[in-house]
Chain A
Amino acid sequence: MTYLVASGLQKAYGRTAVLSDVAFEVAQGEFICLLGPSGCGKSTLLRLLAGLIEPDDGRLMLAGEDLTRRPAWHRDIGLVFQNYALFPHLSVARNVAFGLEMRGLPKAEAKSRVAEALELVDLADYRDRLPSELSGGQQQRVAIARAIAVRPRLLLLDEPLSNLDALLRGTVRADLRDLHRRTGLTTIMVTHDQAEALSLADRVAVMSGGRIVQMGSPETIYASPDTTFVASFVGNPPANLLRLPPDGIPGWTPPPPLAAAIANAGSRPLVLALWPETLQVVERGHAHSIPATLRAVEFLGAERRAHLRLTDGQTLLAHPGEQGEGDVGVVLRGNGPLPTIFDAETGARLIQVAT
């Protein structure tokens, strides 16, 4: 069931386009992440959904109603700001009650809803504190309680983890997933951190230059990127993107299916995406191996990562073998995301090749 439909959304400040032709659909109860680097328009899109910014063009439908020109205060959309934007002169309870007060809810009902919301974020004992008397993590939970107390039709989160320290981030990530499961609220969250997006979202919308360049499940976004941008932005580490010169990477004979696909792609400049976990360091001269120099093996606890340089100077990350630093080869292990060929000029995906 589609619940939220955005189509053709445009926004420009002066001559600078911030959003260009943004269109997407969200089902009721979905958890969506808008993922992109800073300046990609994701926060603008969130504010536009909240009604704090008006689009220059396009349409926004929520549950069959046209929201495009409806002001923020009539939208019933909860927004959690990146800096929380708690009212510093009001207690925790009065912050949470604010939206209920604006809706003229009877005192008794408002009180029980505030208690319920504070219970949900585990802050029932803090109702009489001022925001300045809370830690950053607690302030954020107040902001979430304030947004959900009005029972919004949509919950928007702007970079909810970016102002928290690394230790707290993992906990809050789990809390957010839990909150979503318990409230069933359709949630849209903005983040620049691909790990957050992959771990939290039902679907991820990757944004770049004011456009949604790809929207899909975390698995799809990671393993079947539509563009070189998505391939380079998603994953830790992301895919190796190798420039393929017309006469191929020096000294490398690709496995037959891959060689055929490259030949079929014609004479245009190509980029080949190979994921680090699908590459294995072997001895130099191994069949179909890419000749490379092993420069370092990085120890990361649970895994190790080999840093390599090809003979034409391009760098590569791979799964290390027993080889020490020096001349080695790199082969495809046949696991994980398939080798993917992109048009180097447009960045568009041409084909994924099973080897």
Chain B
Amino acid sequence: MAMSKRQRAQYIRFAQYGVLIVVILLVAFLADWGQIRRAFFNTEIAASMFPNVITVALKNTIIYTALGFGFGLALGLVLALMKLSSVGPYRWIATVYIEFFRGVPALLVFIGIYYGVPIAFQLQFPPLTTVMLALGGVGAAYMAETIRAGIQAVPKGQVEAARSLGMSQGRAMITIVIPQAFRIILPPLTNELILLTKDSSLIYILGLFREQYELTKFGRETLSRSPSLTPILIAGLCYLIITLPLGYLSRYLEKRTGGKKVSVV
């Protein structure tokens, strides 16, 4: 049958809504809502988690993430500069580091740092330092590539202007290039922070004390004492308290830097 363009568009839209409604009805009828409510929405268990889920678990997740991000950013900057270095061995070391830590599961890295560092160097870090090294060490590998791309995205003319005013290469890098590079990479860097927030769940492997629990460990711990999945739901919602605003921030920054002229040529 011959359809006009408008008829066809209407027909396709109709079909799409139809499929959507069928799937929703299917799920609604097949799911056992009573069970789901009992499993995930046990208000008693949920209430028992407060206030510790906020004052301990959420707080610790934020602290661990911030420490890891801070260390990762610093190490990532060093790695990025090494990667851009004119000294060959610096480039190789940075490349090996980045490829290794990006290519290996974070969980393995955490285990390696937790058990490996004390063996290798005969020293035992306090837990917070271990968390910082583990999370930051992995984050640095991702951030290094982002920072390198940001540095290279700064127009060459900026360096030429700085050099022609008598700035040394290092001075131009610190005063002119790096500040501009960070403006450029703010949105992707915010995304790294979100990923790191979620990766902080893996540090349960470090065997923390009760007061050191972060959200995932706290949720699992509560889970083991209660016949309900409610703790997982609560923990998950707490992650969203961190990640949703960050995601919003990232998109906002992207829009802002995207609309603004970064360079003038």
Q: Do A and B bind each other?
A: no
Instruction: Name A's B-contacting residues (CB within 8 A).
Output: none
Instruction: Name B's A-contacting residues (CB within 8 A).
Output: none
